[in-house]
C-alpha cells in the first residue's frame, strides 16, 4: 500500500470515528453499533499499517501512536467499568491521552504524506 493512500485511509478512519461517537443529550450513543465496530476495526488496521510503514523512517512516531492508542483503550475501559465522577483523575488522564493520541494520529498522517513509497525506495536501491 502506498503511503499517501494509507494517509488518506487514516483521515477516513478519523472521520468515521467522529461520526460513530455521536451521542444524544443524555449521553447515549445514537450511531449504529455496526458503524462503531467498523470504525474501531478501521482505526486498528490504520494504526498497525501506519506503524509498519513508519517503523524504519520515524520509529518515535510509531511508538507514540501505538502506546497512546493502547493507553486510550485502557483508560476508556476503566472509565466504562468504574463510572468515575466528574473531574476525577481518571477522566483527566483520559482527556490528556485523547489529546496525545490525536496529536500522534495527525503526526503519523503528516509523516505518511511526506514518506516516499516503499516501492520507490526499493527501486532506487537496486539502481
pLDDT-derived band at 104 (thresholds 50, 70, 90) equals: very high
- The answer to whether residues 2 and 116 touch, using CB atoms and an 8 Å cutoff, is no
Interval 15-73: pLDDT, tens: 999 999 888 888 788 989 999 999 999 999 999 999 998 888 888 999 999 999 999 99
CA distance 40 to 6: 16
- In a domain, residue 126? The reply is no
Tell me the average pLDDT of the chain: 86
Residue 29: predicted pLDDT: 85
* Residue 123 is assigned to a structural domain of this protein: no
Residue, of 48 and 122, whose pLDDT is higher: 48
Q: What is the total count of domains within the chain?
A: 1
Q: How far apart are CA 104 and CA 64, in angstroms?
A: 6
Q: Which residue range forms the structural domain that includes residue 105?
A: 3-118
Amino acid at each position: 500500500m502506498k503511503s499517501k493512500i494509507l494517509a488518506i485511509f487514516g483521515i477516513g478512519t478519523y472521520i468515521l470515528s467522529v461520526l460513530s461517537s455521536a451521542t444524544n443529550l443524555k449521553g447515549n450513543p445514537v450511531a449504529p453499533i455496526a458503524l462503531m465496530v467498523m470504525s474501531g476495526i478501521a482505526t486498528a488496521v490504520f494504526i498497525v499499517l501506519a506503524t509498519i510503514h513508519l517503523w524504519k523512517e520515524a520509529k518515535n512516531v510509531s511508538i507514540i501512536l501505538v502506546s497512546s492508542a493502547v493507553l486510550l483503550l485502557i483508560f476508556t475501559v476503566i472509565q466504562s467499568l468504574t463510572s468515575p465522577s466528574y473531574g476525577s483523575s481518571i477522566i483527566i488522564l483520559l482527556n490528556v491521552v485523547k489529546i496525545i493520541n490525536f496529536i500522534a494520529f495527525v503526526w503519523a498522517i503528516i509523516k505518511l504524506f511526506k514518506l516516499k513509497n516503499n516501492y520507490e525506495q526499493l527501486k532506487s536501491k537496486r539502481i
